[in-house]
Structure 1
Amino acid sequence: MAKLYFSYAAMNAGKSTILLQAAHNYFERGMQTRLYTSSLYVEDGVGKISSRIGLDVPANLYDSELDLFADIAKANKEKKIDCIFVDEAQFLTSEQVWQLARVADHLKIPIMCFGLRTDFQGKLFEGSAELLAIADVLREIRTICECGSKATMVVRMDENGEAIREGDQVSIGKEVYVSLCRRHWEEKMHPNKVVNMDGQSISKADEDDDDDLSSISALG
């Protein structure tokens, strides 16, 4: 039985590299694949899936209007497809995720989706939420925070290295995205809030006041 897979991670975990390696494995065995990526990543009118280590391959583009079931069914009639790969799957609509599920269920073609789980505000993307809900197999691709812990969150940084806390969920521009663990993501996104040793939330201003009082007491 063909399955719908969702491999998710924070930024810079090597999702595209793993996708390209898996697709190459099919190619080496003489099998036919079909690759998709979001139209947000079009380069000179051409879709490409690129990895951080310099690999890239052409890919079909999808936007929110494309019926993926119909598109894949048509291509499969022309030449049998052995596997579908979808990069940047967080940008799929909920309906498109179901279209891919129908490809697995009715056309018997396995679907390999790769994407982010959450945005820079810690909210689920539409496509990721639906994939987490209905995918047959979920796989976490791990990367690490600056502290060495597992990174599960993404923060959007401006040109000055400051965290951007508001804005559109999707922004493909000059911003830099950094993967962090939950603790350090919260420190970047909510710098005026800290948690004391008793687990109580206190403002940064209150903490500074407590430090000042402690210094005065020590001098006394």
Structure 2
Amino acid sequence: MAKLYFRYGTMNSGKSIEVLRTAHNYEEQGKKVLLFTPSVDNRHGVGTVASRIGMQKKAIIIDDHTNMIELAAAKKPNCILIDESQFLNKEQVRQLTEIVDTLNIPVIAYGLRADFLGNLFEGSYHLLAIADKIEEIKTVCWYCDQKAIMNMRCSDGQPVFEGEQIQIGGNESYLPVCRKCYTSKRKQAHKL
């Protein structure tokens, strides 16, 4: 029986490399994978899943007009992989559940749990609510040796605690941090 998996982690926890590794493992065995990524992620070009270590692969772009159910029914993959699933909306997450429940195709969605202020993204909210299995991809805090659970936004190397929820970026814009270091940096920023 297929399941919907949500694998989340902070920025720089290796989510995209995990997506690429999983796709490679399926394809190496002669199995078909559908790889999706939301159109909002344009760091390496729209429709590209890329890791910080240099690996990348073309993906199907998810936008408001993408019908993942029809694509899955037509292509009959062994697995569906989603990168940057935090950017999905409620209807797109519902499509993933229908793929799992009616087409019996496993779906593994990778993404952030929360934004730079600790608020859930829409896609993450719905995936946390209805995924069959939720798994954390762990990494260490940028400043100490604790587990990172927060994404700290930076501008010119300085922490930022206001702004729009979505700002596409990598290490130049976000650091993985533990809650203690996040709170400390936030307090320091508010004193300035």
Residues 1:170 and 2:166 are matched in the alignment: yes
Indicate the residue corresponding to 2:41 in structure 1. Answer: 41
SS of the residue 1:149 aligns to: coil
Identity of aligned residues (%): 46
Deviations 1:161-211 (A, max 9, x none): 221111110012585100100011112223278xxxxxxxxxx79xxxxxx
Structure 1 pair 111–44 and aligned structure 2 pair: CA distance change class (3 A): closer
Structure 2: runs of 5 or more not aligned: none
Report how many residues are paired. Answer: 190
Residues 1:81 and 2:77 are matched in the alignment: yes
Larger radius of gyration: 1
Indicate the residue corresponding to 1:128 in structure 2. Answer: 124
Q: Is the 8 A contact 2:78 2:105 kept in 1?
A: yes
SS of the residue 1:121 aligns to: coil
Runs of 4+ in 1 over 4 A off after TM superposition: 43-46
Structure 1: runs of 5 or more not aligned: 194-203, 206-220
| TM-score of the two chains, using structure 2 as the length reference | 0.92
SS of the residue 1:171 aligns to: coil
| TM-score of the two chains, using structure 1 as the length reference | 0.80
Alignment of 1:180-191 (within 5 A): 180-191=177-188
Cα distance in 1 for residues equivalent to 2:153 and 2:43: 22
Which structure ranks higher in relative contact order (CA pairs < 8 Å, sequence separation ≥ 6)? 2
Deviations 1:52-89 (A, max 9, x none): 1110011011124433223332x32xxx3110000000
Higher mean C-alpha displacement, 64-73 vs 27-36: 64-73
Cα distance in 2 for residues equivalent to 1:30 and 1:54: 24
